[in-house]
Structure 1
Amino acid sequence: MKTAEEYNEISNKVIAAAIEVHRQLGSGLLERVYEAALAYELNQMGLHCLRQQPVPVRYKGVFLEEEAFKMDLLVENSVIVELKTVPQLQPIHSHQLKTYLRLTNLHLGLLMNFNVMMLKDGLVRVVNNFPGTLNEKISYLNLIIILRTKIF
């Protein structure tokens, strides 16, 4: 299991790559274009990145659907990146990412809306049972927290 610092390092690199993609392409393109460009940037940075990875659904230990959903990007086999090109992110978008995290038992996801003037306005960090001691007073067991990511 990765440490909080390792997750933060990966997410910082993903955000930096997304900013570069947004600078080069701007807004207004299809989601799959940003997905391809971001995967390219992440691979150039030396990060392992898989596109359109299936998210299986289990019920009482039985696989109901092997490919019920597909996550846009899986980075370093630990961070899910879900891309959007919508006028404004809605709660359902964060809920979708939380569901992917829960179904895959992963801890960190980044929701990115490329249909914004400044990419920082379209970033949401979603956490599911985050490992480590981000705050000793809070137990992260069984919590899902959405943090707005700030880029300075």
Structure 2
Amino acid sequence: MENAKIISQKYLDELTYEVLGAAIEVHKTMGRGLLENIYHHCLIEELSTRNIRFSTEMNIPVVYKNKSLNIDYKCDLYVENCLVVELKSVNEINAVHKAQLLTYMKLLHSPKGILINFNCFNLFKEGQITFVNEHFKTLPKF
């Protein structure tokens, strides 16, 4: 039986570092300017190689007044059941991309999310934005 991981701010920060490392490897190998779907499949392969558990294209439940609504929301990756990863390959990240990630985080009660844009020159410096929400602040620091 596998030990349950304690979700803490430190754990999420380390997981974020690992996921960003995988994304940087994909970007370094594939370069910029490809379709999002290609990066998605490459990142799936890279995360699998690194033994990082995730769900892909997971349906996000939307519940209104105790009733599940039939809304087709899917996040690109949900890593270790606590980190939402949304992938893009666009000229620039805009407000709707940020809102999409924040919505997924809220619906999944996920404390942290990463928005990754592969259409950039340096993924670490200009191709990723990390978000935390009110759930992150309630987690233990270590």
TM-score surpassing 0.5? yes
1:46-85 alignment, distance < 5 Å: 46-65=51-70, 68-85=72-89
Look up the match of 1:90: 94
Higher helix share goes to which structure? Answer: 2
Higher strand share goes to which structure? Answer: 1
- RMSD over aligned Cα atoms: 1.3
Unpaired stretches in structure 2, ≥5 consecutive residues: 1-5
Q: State whether residues 84 and 114 of structure 2, in contact with CA within 8 Å, keep that contact through their aligned partners in structure 1.
A: yes
**Residue aligned with 2:72, SS:** strand
Q: State whether residues 78 and 85 of structure 2, in contact with CA within 8 Å, keep that contact through their aligned partners in structure 1.
A: yes
Given candidates 122, 135, 140, the residue that maps to 2:127 is: 122
Q: Deviations over 1:55-86 (max 9, x none)?
A: 12111111012x52110011111111000011
TM superposition shift of 1:97 = 0.4
Look up the match of 1:36: 41
Given candidates 98, 104, 111, the residue that maps to 2:108 is: 104
**Residue aligned with 2:55, SS:** strand
Unpaired stretches in structure 1, ≥5 consecutive residues: 135-152
TM-score normalized with structure 2 length: 0.89
Identity %, equivalent residues:
37
TM-score normalized with structure 1 length: 0.83
Look up the match of 1:147: none
Q: State whether residues 58 and 75 of structure 2, in contact with CA within 8 Å, keep that contact through their aligned partners in structure 1.
A: yes
